[in-house]
Structure 1
Amino acid sequence: MLELATELLDRVRGGTPFVTATVTRVDGSAPRQPGASLVVDADGAVLGNVSGGCVDSAVYQACQEMLRGERSPKTLRFGYTDDDAIAVGLTCGGTIELFLRHHDPGAEPGLEAAYADATRDEPVAVATVVRGPEAHLGKLIVVRPGGHRAGTLGDERLDEVAAAHATGVLHAGTSGTVDIGVADGYCREPMTLLVECNTPAPRMLIFGAIDHAAALARLGAFLGYRVTVCDARATFTTPARFPYADEVVVDWPHRYLATQRLDGSTVICVLTHDPKVDVPLLTAALRLPVDYVGAMGSRRTHEQRLVRLREAGLTDRELRRLHSPIGLDIGARTPQETALSIAAEIVAHRHGGTGVPLRTGVPIHRRATPSSAPFPPTWTAEHLDHSAGITRPRSSSQS
């Protein structure tokens, strides 16, 4: 739902009712994960999707019925059967569970504020009761960092435990469900919360004002990163050359890096090809708790770089974090193809992908859960060498 915050905030402020159908559970192969939503407003407009097309028409009809009639929250479930294959089932073989909820403009000030936070790219989580006692079903609370919350599930003690769970999910940075059992003493019947999160966009720092950087900045922005391009050469480092970057900085890369507060979602791409720039930059970058550090260059350049980095004091464990030569082997030749190679490696690293063709039988859809968030705050050697058999192949266009 929060992925559509800008559009939903417009409807709330414009007085337009709407129904959200949000994925709460996925089993097997399914195209969307918990938190993905399809929204239908009173004017019949549709936002988002929950299945990549398989069951969206049926969900749309269910939302229309809720807008016209009974407004109580309800659950829908779609799975693959012989009948579904002919009608509206998930032909990919999985099952999804959806929670439908009617929203009246002005009736949920806490949720409106959450939409506003999300449009400003501020961290916020919405915890909604999607399974449990009817009296609590559909109630929600909004949680922000620092323990601040708005709304109620109907019980102060329940609000406290729900807020604690939501804060944990928000810290992990991914939406998901949380089960609260009777044994916990917080409710008389088992209850499930859907916690939907908005976290600030992760950062992509690209060093080296070259054509490959312009192409990578465009892909980085497309993938949802806040992109910075940095180079010490003012002539080449201009906003006009990098229109998709959020900021273009003229500075020595290692000096700029030292001024930044970075977290476990940050990716750093070094495209400079210059030892006097690469060595101090990579020495600093490989000691930061960031998600990914990659450097462009041929295999010969890579070996020479490793020698210099060891001379600069980096350990073997720190050097194992370096993705060099940067990118996956897709036969790239042009700057645009090389950027695709780099972006593919970043996505594979972020989600634990192997980089091998899907036709080899690897899982198509991996389940994302709060306990396996895509942006852990620190990395171990096991995180860094996650893909056995993948030895950081290079893009063939690197020199």
Structure 2
Amino acid sequence: MLDIAEELHRWARQGRDFAVATVVAADGSAPRQPGAALAVDTDGTAVGSVSGGCVEGAVYELCQEALRTGEPALERFGYRDEDAFAVGLTCGGTIDVLVTPVRCGAPGPATGTGGAAAAADRTAETLTAALAAAARGETAAVARIVRGPAGFLGRALLVRADGGHSGTLGGPPALDATAVAETRALLDAGRTATVEIGADGAQCGEPVALLVETSVPAPRMIVFGAIDFAAALAKVAKFLGYHVTVCDARPVFATRSRFPDADEIVVDWPHRYLDSQELDARTVLCVLTHDAKFDVPLLVRALRLPVAYVGAMGSRRTHLDRLDRLREAGLGERELHRLRSPIGLDLGARTPEETALSIAAEIVADRRGGAGSPLTGAHTPIHHDPARRAGRIGSVA
């Protein structure tokens, strides 16, 4: 749901009621992962996707039904051999979809008097607060019940970066307390996942499953070297959702006119700027300086940081010379093994745009655990679980 937060926040501010369908579980070759969402307002306007097209029509109808009844619903969609072209995921996967009505305007079927109506109002308030936080780029997480006691489906609570929380899942205080602790753990890791709370933790008669969606600031990509390849890479990185900084010690090259797609342009020595930054495990560092006086002191620092990816541009001869210089500077083989150099995948790239695509492809493959090989004729999974590779610190998906 938080993946379409900006649009849904705008709907909420306009007082437009909507129903949001969220993938809460995925199995097999499902095209979208937990957290992916499709929403439909009372005018029939739709935004987002839960399956890349396979079951959008059926989910759209579920959203309209939820708007009419005011009741949440949980539906499973999957591939069936005997009827592959019926409603289902013909790619072979299975997804569970939670549909939740959110009333932002006039009272509807779920409002009025009674405990169920009050719970629906609290859920809508919590979800709109979560959407507002995500739309503002704040760090927050929303947890929703996707399996549990009758009447609890869809109830939500919001956990913020400062440790505060709002909303309630209902039931005894222990349920909220356990859910908040689980949600904080996932928020710290920047992960979206489904978690189980046992009957003892839930204290409501049966286990409870929660979908926890996190909203964290965009991951950073810092591109060192204000060259034409950097301009192309900044454009591709923005498309992939990175907050992009271009850093170069030469003010004549590090200009806004040359890097219109960058979020920040910094004129400073690369290693000095890197020393001034607080970086996390999702940060990507691309060294395109192609000059030993810049890239050696920079890489000595970069390869000792717990970041997701460090890549450096240069020929194979430059790479070998660079490794010798880095060893002389005190780096060990484990640290050098983390360096992606020459940077990018072998696409036969020549132009800055092609090279940027090559670099971006390697970053995605590293983040998602892909091999970077053609899918045609392969027997490996299309979608991989991110894995920490030996000697390399991976990013949080």
- Shared fold by TM > 0.5? yes
Task: Show the counterpart of 1:150.
Answer: 166
Kept after mapping to 1: 8 A contact 2:126/2:167: yes
1:175 matched to which residue of 2? 192
* 2:360 is aligned with 1:361: no
Letter in 1 for 2:391: A
CA distance in 2, matches of 1:24, 1:189: 19
Give the aligned partner of residue 282 of structure 2: 265
Partner residue of 2:98? 99
Quote how far apart the aligned CAs of 1:339 are. 0.5
Q: Tell me the residue number matched to 2:344.
A: 327
SS at match of 2:237: helix
Which whole-Å CA distance do the structure 1 matches of 2:265 and 2:153 have between them?
Answer: 48
Residue 117 of structure 2: aligned partner? none
Match of 1:396 in 2: none
Q: Which residue of the partner structure matches residue 228 of structure 1?
A: 245
SS of the equivalent of 2:257 reads helix
Whether the 8 Å contact between 1:181 and 1:187 is mirrored in structure 2 is no
Q: Distance between the aligned counterparts of 1:119 and 1:337, measured in 2?
A: 32
Aligned-residue offset at 1:187: 3.0
- The CA deviation at 1:115 is 1.5
- Contact kept? 2:158, 2:165, Cα under 8 Å: yes
Per-residue deviation, residues 235-277 of structure 1 (Å, max 9, x unmatched): 1110111111001111111111111111111000000110000
Amino acid at match of 1:314: L
Q: Give 1:141's match in structure 2, choosing from 144, 157, 162.
A: 157
What is the CA–CA distance in structure 2 between the aligned matches of 1:118 and 1:86, rounded to whole Å? 37
Shift of 1:111: 2.5
- Percentage of identical aligned residues: 60
For 1:124, which of 140, 155, 160 is the aligned residue?
140
Match of 1:305 among 322, 332, 337: 322
Q: Is the Cα contact below 8 Å between 2:308 and 2:393 reproduced in 1?
A: no
Q: Is the 8 A contact 1:84 1:90 kept in 2?
A: no
**Contact kept? 2:202, 2:208, Cα under 8 Å:** no
Secondary structure in 2 aligned to 1:75? strand
> Which ranges of structure 1 fall in alignment gaps of 5 or more residues?
385-399
CA offsets 1:119-150 (integer angstroms, 9 cap, x no match): 12111100001111013222110011242100
Aligned-residue RMSD, C-alpha:
1.6
**Residues 282-341 of structure 1: per-residue CA shift (max 9 Å, x gap):** 111111111110000000000000011111111111111110010000111111000000
Map 1:378-389 → 2, pairs under 5 A: 381=391, 383=393
Tell whether the 8 Å contact from 2:232 to 2:352 is kept in structure 1 after alignment: yes
TM-score by length of 1: 0.91
State the partner residue of 1:7. Answer: 7
Match of 2:224 in 1: 207
Could you tell me how far 1:366 is from its partner in structure 2?
2.5
Q: Which runs of 4+ in 1 moved over 6 A?
A: none
Kept after mapping to 1: 8 A contact 2:66/2:73:
no
SS at match of 1:67: helix
Could you tell me which amino acid in structure 2 is paired with residue 192 of structure 1? A
Structure 2 unmatched ranges of 5 or more: 106-120
Whichever residue aligns with residue 46 of structure 2, its letter is V
Q: Residue in 1 aligned with 2:257? A: 240
For the 8 Å contact 1:180–1:186, the answer to whether it is kept is no
SS at match of 2:100: strand
Structure 1 residues 84 and 72, CA, compared in 2 at 3 Å: closer, same or farther?
A: farther
Q: Distance in 2 between matches of 1:256 and 1:183?
A: 50
* Corresponding residue of 1:24: 24
Q: Which amino acid aligns with 1:348?
A: A
Contact 1:327 1:338 in 2 (8 A): yes
- 1:182 CA displacement: 1.6
Alignment of 1:75-94 (within 5 A): 75-82=74-81, 84-94=83-93
- Which TM-score applies when normalising by structure 2? 0.91
| Partner SS state of residue 358, structure 1 | coil
Aligned partners of 2:162, 2:345: CA distance in 1, in Å? Answer: 40
CA, structure 1 residues 162+267, in 2 after alignment: closer, same or farther (shift >3 Å)? Answer: same
Task: Give the secondary structure class of the aligned counterpart of 2:84.
Answer: helix
For residues 305 and 249 of structure 2, the distance between their equivalents in structure 1, rounded to whole angstroms, comes to 21
Which structure exhibits the higher relative contact order, with contacts defined as CA atoms closer than 8 Å and separated by 6 or more residues? 1
CA distance in 1, matches of 2:81, 2:391: 46
Cα contact 2:175–2:202 (8 A) shared by 1? no
Residue pair 1:33, 1:367 contacting (<8 A) in 2 also: no
| Structure 1 position 10, deviation (Å) | 1.2
**SS where residue 239 of structure 1 aligns?**
coil
Q: CA deviation at 1:84?
A: 4.3
Aligned to 1:388: none
